[in-house]
């Protein structure tokens, strides 16, 4: 009798633990429910190889969109991602940051490599044709503006800015799109959620 009560109690505790682990509420990011497979792509990687999300199965991927000439949002986002990775310690090896450009005109693979390496040498950038990148933005719901020239002189020099969605998507070890972090989250938030996804 005592054993069966103990067994029931253990089963209950197990169910509660599993329920809590599966709960999307444990993440600080926005959570998709049910999660779907993250749309894959094939781009030119800044590391010289083909960049595909499926290459990182078994790791948690933090996917960000931006461009190397971005004056504020993109460097801040990559800075936080680098900081979060440091905070993860040994777990950092299983967090892969992927930075996909929205500005293929200026961001070739070499340029991307230098840019992302400034934050963390393990970060990988991706570029492709405007059509390829537009398709990727569409499936991830990324919006962006046309080129913004501040004045006539910047137009003649080809200096422009782009307004774009500045989210970080979190993809789990199985390649499922689990969460989205809007701009403004801190390195602590990223570390918290990455750790939660890595523990699954």
Partner 1 sequence: MTTRVSDIDFPRAQMHDGRRVIGRRLLYWVLIPLGSFAVGALAWAALAPVRSESREQVYVIPKGTWEHRQAGHHLDVIPSRIRLTIGVKDVLVMRNEDDVPQLFGPVLIMPGQSFQLPFQRPSEYIFTCPLHSSGLLTIVVEPMPEPGWPRLRWRATGLVTPGAWL
Q: Is position 20 an interface residue for partner 1 (rule: CB under 8 A)?
A: no
Choose which of 5, 36, 90, 153 interacts with partner 1 (CB under 8 A): 36
Helices 109-119 and 73-88 cross at an angle (nearest 10°) of: 50
Q: Both tokens of residue 184?
A: 């403004």
Q: Which is nearer to partner 1, 25 or 152 (CB)?
A: 25
Over its C-alpha atoms, the chain yields an Rg (Å, rounded) of 20
Q: Which is nearer to partner 1, 31 or 42 (CB)?
A: 31
Contacts of 115 (CB under 8 A, 6+ apart): 68, 99, 107, 125
Q: Is position 154 an interface residue for partner 1 (rule: CB under 8 A)?
A: no
CB 124 within 8 A of CB 100: no
Q: Is position 119 an interface residue for partner 1 (rule: CB under 8 A)?
A: no
Q: Is position 25 an interface residue for partner 1 (rule: CB under 8 A)?
A: yes
CB 103 within 8 A of CB 138: no
Task: State in Å, rounded, how far the first CA of the chain is from the last one.
Answer: 35
Query: Among residue numbers 159 through 188, which ones bind partner 1 (CB under 8 A)?
Result: 165, 167, 180, 182, 184
Q: Which is nearer to partner 1, 29 or 162 (CB)?
A: 29
Q: What is the binding site for partner 1 (CB under 8 A)?
A: 24-25, 27-34, 36, 139-141, 143, 165, 167, 180, 182, 184, 189
């Amino acid at each position: 009798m005592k054993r069966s009560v103990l067994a029931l109690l253990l089963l209950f505790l197990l169910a509660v633990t599993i329920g809590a682990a599966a709960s999307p509420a444990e993440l600080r990011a926005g959570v998709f429910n049910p999660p779907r497979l993250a749309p894959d792509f094939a781009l030119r990687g800044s590391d010289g190889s083909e960049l595909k999300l499926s290459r990182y199965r078994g790791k948690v991927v933090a996917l960000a969109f931006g461009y190397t000439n971005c004056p504020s949002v993109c460097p801040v986002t990559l800075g936080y991602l680098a900081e979060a990775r440091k905070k993860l310690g040994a777990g950092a090896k299983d967090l892969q940051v992927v930075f996909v450009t929205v500005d293929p005109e200026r961001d070739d693979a070499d340029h991307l490599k230098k840019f992302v390496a400034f934050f963390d040498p393990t970060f990988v950038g991706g570029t492709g044709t405007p059509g390829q990148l537009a398709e990727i933005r569409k499936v991830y719901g990324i919006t962006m503006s046309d080129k913004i020239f501040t004045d006539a002189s910047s137009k003649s020099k080809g200096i422009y800015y782009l307004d774009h969605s500045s989210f970080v998507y979190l993809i789990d070890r199985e390649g499922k799109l689990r969460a989205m972090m809007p701009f403004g989250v801190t390195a602590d938030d990223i570390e918290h959620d990455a750790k939660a996804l890595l523990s699954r």
